Structure formats: C-alpha cells, structure tokens
Amino acid sequence: MKIAFLGPHASFTQLATAQLFPNDELLPQSSILDCFSAVENGDVAKAVVPLENSIEGTVSMTLDYLYKTPSIKIEAEAVMPIAHHLMIHPDNSIEDIEKIYSHPQALAQSFHFLDTHYKDIPKQDFSSTAAAAKYVSENKDIKIAAVANQYAANLYGLKIINRNIQDFEQNHTRFIIISKLQNKYENEDLQTLGEKSGMLITLPEDHPGGLHQVLSVFAWRKMNLSKIESRTLKTGLGNYFFFINVEGSWNDILHGNALKELESINADVDFLGNYKEFLLES
Amino acid sequence: MKIAFLGPHASFTQLATAQLFPNDELLPQSSILDCFSAVENGDVAKAVVPLENSIEGTVSMTLDYLYKTPSIKIEAEAVMPIAHHLMIHPDNSIEDIEKIYSHPQALAQSFHFLDTHYKDIPKQDFSSTAAAAKYVSENKDIKIAAVANQYAANLYGLKIINRNIQDFEQNHTRFIIISKLQNKYENEDLQTLGEKSGMLITLPEDHPGGLHQVLSVFAWRKMNLSKIESRTLKTGLGNYFFFINVEGSWNDILHGNALKELESINADVDFLGNYKEFLLES
C-alpha cells in the first residue's frame, strides 16, 4: 500500500509513519497540501500529517485542508515524544567538530544542552533536521555535527554522541492518519492511549452563544471534550469552524443522537471518524 | 525602546515588527522562547511573536509560554496577509536563473506559480525565506533566485521579478505584542480591525461539561467568542487550558462581572488584556 507523509526523508513525520506502516511504501511529500492532494487524487491510499506541535509544517494547514476536503477522514491519531540527538559522521570524532547544523527550532529546543556542552561551537540553520543529517553524512571532510532524530541517524549511518538533548522532556508531536476509506486503523504492536471522535462543526451564522449551544449537546450527555480549536473561514472575518475531539468509543445512541441534535440546531457537522490514539517511540 | 522579535533578520515577524515599531531598536531572537525570556528578564520592553499560521515558528509555543509566564500580557494583535515574491541579484537576469531557494513552506505555498512559470528550474530548501534572500545577495556569481518577502528584498538589495506568487490570496499570519507593562498599544497610522480581550482559562478538574459551563458565562451575556483553542498541560494527559478571545471593548460591568462569575465556578483565569487588532501590509 502507498502511504504519503510530510517529508523530507527522515523527518519526524517519517519516523511516525514508519512505526504506523512498517511494511508499506512510504512516499515523502513537500507540503501538507501535497499529502491531502495525493489522498484525494487516489495516488496513495493514506497519508500521515502532523496535527499539533510539528517543527516541520504549519499544522493549522491540516485543519484547513480537513475542512476543505470533506471526502477525507481520520483513521487514527498518534502521539510521539520529541527527541533530538547530536550525531556525527562515524569516521569523525566529536573533539574535532567545528560546527553544528540543524533546523532552527531543533537548535532552539536543544539550546540549554548545546549552550552547556558546546558553547563555543557555532550553530548553523538548516531547512530540516533530516537535511542537516544528510549533509553531515555526505561531507565527512568538513568537521560538522547535526541535531536530528533516530531515524535520520539510522538512514544516513551517523553515530549518535549525545541522546535526548532537548530541553523539555514532555514535548511531543501529534499526527493523524488520513484517507477516504472511512476505515478504523488498528495496530496491536503499538500502545493504545484511548479512543476519540473527531468532527468539524460550522455554525449557521456567527452569533454570541453559538458555540455554547453546540457544546450543550455534549455537556448534558456527559461527553468529555479533549480538544477544541477554532479556525477562521476564508470567506470573511468573523466566520469560524471548530475542530472538536470527544473522548470515548463510538456509541450508537450517545453519538448518533448527539449528531442528530447538532443537525437540529442547524450546525453543519463533518464527522471525521471515531478512532484510536496510539503512542509512538521517539 | 528595545523590541525583541522572532528572527532571523527579514523574517515575516520582522516585517510585522517594523510596521508596529518603526522608530525602535529591533532585536532578532532565535526562538519564541527567547522572545518571552527577553521580556521576562527585562532585556527588552516588548516582543512580537506569531500567534497563528506562521511558517517560522510552532505557534502553539506562544500559547504555552503565555501560560507559563503569567507576568507577560498582550498589548495588541496584528494580522498580515502573507505575500511571497520571486527575487534575484540586481546584476543578474531572470533568464539565467538555474535554481530557486526558499523555506520549504514558502516553496509549497508558491507551488502552482513556480510550476507554471519555472517548472524546469530546481527548487532548493533553505532554513528561512530571509536566509535564502541573503544567500542570493551574497552570491551573484551563481545564478539563483529566492522566494521571500518585501522586507528581505529591501534589506538585501534584491530585484523583485514576480510579485504575490503565493497560491492562496487570503492566507495570513497573526502576531501579538507581548510585555509586562499591562499597556494598550495604540497606532493611528495603522488600520484598526476591532477590539478584543484575551484570556487563558484553566478548569479546576477535567470533567464533562466543564468548558460548557465556562462558555455559559459569556453566552448569556451575549459576549461573542472569536477564537478558542485548547492546549494540553504538561502535567499529564487529559488536563487542558483554553485560550479564548472575546470580541469588543472593555466594559467594566460586562467584563468585570464575567470574570467574577468565572472565579465563582473555580475557573483559574489569566486575563491577558483588552487590546486592539491592527491590519499590517504584506
């Protein structure tokens, strides 16, 4: 099966995709839009894109494209702790390193470690952590190191000198698997964190209390929201849609009736699926 | 006055900051965290950081640092349409160009234009649009172009060949001015789009209907919400805080009583300010 993901090769999204689809053909895309287009056109069966906290893509794009392409639904969510490692060409030694390359945000996220241990070594911005790792692998004659992930170290045969150099332990990225298949992704090899439903809700008109009315539908049924995010519609200022996650497995009576009640108050609901949340390794 | 902004030089954030603070000393920072630290430590009076849709920083960081540093408040919000231009060294001619450099997301956002007009010219990822423009200005002997903004073209003396090559007209970035001054930023040279209040709300415990109860406070007062976003607290799965924007100017009775009612239901409210929203040029 062909699976698109937000590239480049050895990006954090590929690290996630390789765990979700270990036996499939993974095709890197240069943007979140390209991932959605590949799914919509049928070039691939599924795609993996970041939903929250990525350093590789503006993830608000993911919500916007979910809204713009109603045929595309969510099969699963996956959460991965962010881990940065310092790596060099295996023929070089860390004492010789004269420069450290990485994505500006990866350097920023590793600032305290780098400032403590490699204060006098200049840092250089690169377009991605993966591109920095590739550059190190191809240029063993210049003495450089990269800050990148485990997948990049493996792919480009680099030696990891320091592991987990990120400043905050609990930083993580969330990804979703998207497709047109209305499928529920399953994987017994991964730890399941829970189950949830995703939906996009547009209100008929922008009036005070509109969102409150929508949330009443879930509140009196004691359905717990785990995420809510508003996004501007491009049609004009002041018009919004909402991305909402409701906790729990699908329940015909509970979910079915909630969706009917949302319809009855003229909310436009794009139900994206009831799906599992998995924990990935960094 | 010293103003920090999310760099590098000639980033979109600098383009915004230069319009908001035309007569002040602007200091680029390498991360959103550094902008907050500079304000908290008193190294600068204010900082400008992206709040939505930036290609230069993970803007969920902005919400997280607003939460973590309660002394820092919002003075204003500013919205800027995103405009990408194709630019070259003034001594070169567009017919000779052999490669186009930019940030991967700027290339993705200009994909249809570049694919139509410069299909056979290879594209190369750079760490930022500004760094690509700088590289073009310093290397007139290699025939390269950059996709970057107007500010970068001016700063590095580049010639713009094609203007507004971004694929979507209505894409924009939102920025906020942050400080510890509890000040309301004013600027009569900029167009004002409206007024709003920003607040961070944490619920005493995660229970179904908790957010619904909070929104009731605004709903029955007919106070309109223009943005709502939930963010996970790092203390554990399932604990959230909410960033909420309420439309309108400050009103002692309306806002004062709403805040009192939020306190009475044990919600923890960090009121970030009542401030204006300005329109910037791209």
Best of A36, A65, A105 to substitute, by most chain B Cβ atoms within 10 angstroms, is: A105
Question: How far lies A9's CA from each of A6, A100, A173, B88, B106, in Å?
Answer: 9, 20, 17, 29, 19
CA of A126 vs chain B CAs: smallest distance (Å): 5
**Does the CB of B191 have a partner CB in chain A at under 8 Å?**
no
Between B199 and B7, the higher pLDDT residue = B199
| B206 pLDDT above the threshold of 80 | no
In tens, the pLDDT along A150-163 reads: 999 999 999 999 99
Report CA-CA distances (Å) from A141 to A59, A89, A94, A127: 37, 9, 13, 21
pLDDT tier, B238 (very low <50, low <70, confident <90, very high otherwise): low
Gap from A182 CA to chain B (nearest CA, Å): 26
Provide the pLDDT for residue B59. 80
H or E element, residue A104 = helix A104-109
Which pLDDT band holds residue A199 (cuts at 50, 70, 90)? very high
Give pLDDT, residue A239. 73
Is pLDDT larger for residue A87 or for residue B236?
A87
Task: Please determine, for residue A84, whether its predicted confidence score (pLDDT) is greater than 80.
Answer: yes
B258 has a pLDDT exceeding 90: yes
- Taking 90 as the threshold, does the pLDDT of residue B109 lie above it? no
Strands A99-102 and A144-148: parallel
Task: Place B149 in a pLDDT band, splitting at 50, 70 and 90.
Answer: very high
The DSSP element (H or E) to which B269 belongs, if any, is strand B268-279
Out of B105, B212, B227, the one facing A212 most closely (by C-beta) is B212
Least confident of A5-19, B141-155, B204-218: B204-218
Residue of B nearest to A248 (CA): B208
What is the Cα–Cα distance from B98 to B85, expressed in whole angstroms? 17
- B169 has pLDDT over 60: yes
What average pLDDT score do residues A176-192 get? 96
Q: What percent of chain A lies above the pLDDT cut of 90? A: 71
| pLDDT score at A170 | 65
**A253: exposed, middle or buried (Cβ count in 10 Å: 0-12, 13-18, 19+):** exposed
- Check pLDDT > 70 for residue B234: no
Predicted pLDDT of residue A209:
84
State phi, psi for A157 to the nearest 5 degrees: 60, 40
Q: Do A207 and B193 touch (CB under 8 A)?
A: no
How large is the ipTM?
A: 0.83
CATH 3.20.20.220, domain B85-162, yes or no: no
CATH superfamily, domain B2-81+172-279, is: ACT domain (3.30.70.260)
The hierarchical CATH code for the domain A2-81+172-182+189-279 is 3.30.70.260
- How do residues B35-90 score in pLDDT, each as one tens digit? 999 999 999 999 999 998 777 767 888 998 999 999 999 999 999 988 999 999 99
pLDDT at A274: 97
Per CB-CB distance under 8 Å, the chain A contacts of B29 are none
Q: Is the pLDDT of residue B16 over 70?
A: yes
Q: How many Å lie between the alpha carbon of B181 and the closest alpha carbon of chain A?
A: 26
What pLDDT is stored for residue A71 in this prediction? 97
| pLDDT on residue A52 | 86
- Asked if pLDDT for residue A238 goes beyond 60, the answer is no
Q: Measure the CA–CA gap between B276 and B192, rounded to whole angstroms.
A: 7
Q: Which of A32, A127, A212 sits opposite B215 (nearest CB)?
A: A212
Name the percent of chain B lying above pLDDT 90. 71
Give first-to-last CA distance, chain A, whole Å: 24
Is the CB of A127 inside 8 Å of chain B's CB atoms?
yes
Nearest to B230 among A126, A221, A228 (CB): A228
Contact map slice: B 144-173 vs A, CB within 8 A? 168, 170
Residue B235: what pLDDT? 57
* Least confident interval from A193-202, A205-214, B190-199: A205-214
Residues of chain B with C-beta less than 8 angstroms from the C-beta of A128: 104, 125
C-alpha torsion angle, residues B203, B209, B214, B218 (rounded to 10): 170
pLDDT at B31: 83
Mean pLDDT is lowest, of A134-143, A207-216, B24-33, for A207-216
Q: Which of B80, B82, B105 to mutate to test the interface with A (most CBs of A within 10 A)?
A: B105
The arithmetic mean of pLDDT across residues B8-35, rounded, is: 93
**Structural domain spans, chain B:** 2-81+172-279, 85-162
How many residue contacts between A and B have a Cβ separation below 8 Å? 134
| Per-window interface: A 258-277 vs B, CB < 8 A | none
Closest-CA residue of A relative to B224 is: A208
Which secondary-structure segment (H or E) carries A160? strand A159-162
- Tell me which residue in A54, A216, A238 faces B212 most closely, judged by beta carbons: A216
* pLDDT at res. A235: 57
**A250-272 confidence digits (pLDDT tens):** 999 999 999 999 999 999 999 99
